[in-house]
Amino acid sequence: MTTLSGAFFGVIRRDLSIAMRHRGDLLNPLFFFLIVVTLVPLSISPEPARLAAMAPGMIWISALLATLLALDNLFQDDFTDGSLVQLMLSPQPLWLLVLAKIIAHWLVTGLPVVLFSPLLGLMLSLPEEGFAPLLLGLVLGTAVFSLLGAVGAALTVALHKGSVLLSLLVMPLYVPVLIFGTSAVQRAVDGMSYGGVMAMLAAASAFSLLVAPFAAAGALKVGING
């Protein structure tokens, strides 16, 4: 018989090894993230003071768009080749397998963005105090992006050209995260306490973690039949 943990880690391991064999797809969102932030000093101003003022917003916006870019692939490929149906026909609880897919997705899209954000902070001359809230905020924020994005990706899985609809569906849910994320960094740079804002982000990610796997599993059952 299959075991719960075997199925859970099996899904994560498989998605990671698929990602490793499509390194182009893996690097695409990350390159997008790096390129946007690299172009800012070139196109607006290399002046450190102006860059520092824009840094939190620029890094967060490009992190959001980079995650959105990769969201399409979360269930779409599996739907196209039929393996999503096999996943859904597993006797194991679907929400758990969906959570495994979301975790694997975050590991290949959210985590690289988090890891590269300090470098981009340096490039945009973000003041020293901003780095800790930037990192912490992005860890929580990208997790919310992947979790809530999965619900949208599941709903639009069987639609042709569903990516426009997907962006429209998830964007309103992403905006509060963006606002809290940037304001945490901004408050830290301005020398204010950012604990309250960070707590809101943490609450958002905890809430998404509780709700999103169930919602995405339910959405898949509806979405798979177009």
Partner 1 sequence: MSSQSLLEFQALTFERDDWPLFNGLSGTINAGEILQITGPNGCGKTTLLHILATIQPFNTGSLCWLGSDISLCRQQYLSAIAFIGHKPGLKLSLTPRENLQWLAQLQPLTRCTSAEALVRIGLAGFEDVPCHTLSAGQLRRAALATLCMTQASLWLLDEPLTALDVQGIADLEALLLAHAAQGGAVVLSSHQALINPVVRTLALDAMAEAEL
Asked whether position 1 contacts partner 1 by CB under 8 A, the answer is: yes
Choose between 82 and 191: whose C-beta lies nearer to partner 1.
82
Q: What does the angle CA 196 – CA 202 – CA 203 come to, to the nearest 5 degrees?
A: 90
Site track 91-130 with partner 1 (rule: CB under 8 A), x = hit: xx----x---------------------------------
3-state class (DSSP) for residue 191: coil
Q: How far is the CB of 72 from partner 1 (least distance, A)?
A: 17
CA 124/CA 176 separation, integer angstroms:
23
Does 172 contact partner 1 by CB under 8 A?
A: no
| Binding-residue pattern over the window 19 to 58 for partner 1, x denoting contact by CB under 8 A | --xx------------------------------------
**E strand spans, the chain:** none
Q: Is 90 among the residues that bind partner 1 (CB under 8 A)? A: yes
Q: Is 85 in the site for partner 1 (CB under 8 A)?
A: yes
Task: List, in sequence order, the alpha helices (H) in 106-162.
Answer: 111-123, 131-155
Is 225 a binder of partner 1 (CB under 8 A)? yes
CB of 151 to partner 1, least distance (A): 20
Pick the closest to residue 106 from 156, 71, 133 (CA basis). 71
Q: What is the DSSP letter of 156?
A: T
Closest to partner 1 by CB, 22 vs 35, is 22
For residue 132 the two structure tokens come to 């800790």
**68 within 8 A of 117, measured Cβ to Cβ:** no
Residue 97's alpha-carbon distances to 7, 46, 82, 104, in angstroms, are: 7, 46, 16, 11
- Interface region with partner 1, contact rule CB under 8 A, candidates 33-41, 55-63, 86-94, 172-180: 86-94
Q: Which residues of 147-158 are buried (b: 16+ CB within 10 A; e: fewer)?
A: bbbbbbbbbbbb
Residues 57-76 that bind partner 1 (CB under 8 A): none
Structure-token pair, residue 19: 């990602």
CB of 4 to partner 1, least distance (A): 10
Residues found near partner 1 in the complex (CB under 8 A)? 1-2, 6-7, 10-11, 14, 17-18, 21-22, 80-83, 85-92, 97, 224-225
